[in-house]
Amino acid sequence: MKVALTGGTGFIGSHVLGELLEHGHEVTALVRNEEQAAAVAARGATPAVVDLYDTPAVARLLNDADGAVHTASPGDATSANLDSAVVDAVTSIFAGTGKPYLQISGLWVYGTNTAITEQSGYHAPALVSWKEAIERRVFGARDMRGVVIVSSVAYGDGGGGIPGVLLGSPRDDAGNLIMLGTGQQHWCEVHVADLADFFRRVLEDDAARGRYVIGNGTDPTAAELTEAAAVAVGAPGAVPGSEDEARARLGDYFAEVLLLDQGADAARARTKLGWHPSRPSLAEEFRHGSYRK
Q: Around Cβ 272, how many Cβ atoms within 10 Å? A: 15
> Would you state the pLDDT for residue 84?
97
pLDDT at 153 over 90: yes
Mean pLDDT of 263-281: 97
- Rounded Cα distance between 167 and 277, Å, is 24
- The tally of CA atoms less than 13 A away on the side-chain side of residue 26 is 6
Cβ contacts of residue 199 below 8 Å, gap of 6+? 16, 19, 20, 69, 102, 149
Domain 2-154+188-216+263-277 has CATH 3.40.50.720: yes
| Domains in the chain: boundaries | 2-154+188-216+263-277
Q: What does the pLDDT look like over 204-229, one tens digit per residue?
A: 999 999 999 999 999 999 999 999 99
Residues of the chain above pLDDT 70, percent: 100
CA 238 – CA 94 distance, rounded (Å) = 50
DSSP 40-63: HHHTTPEEEE--TT-HHHHHHHHT
Q: How confident is the model at residue 77 (pLDDT cuts 50, 70, 90)?
A: confident
For residue 293, the model assigns a pLDDT of 74
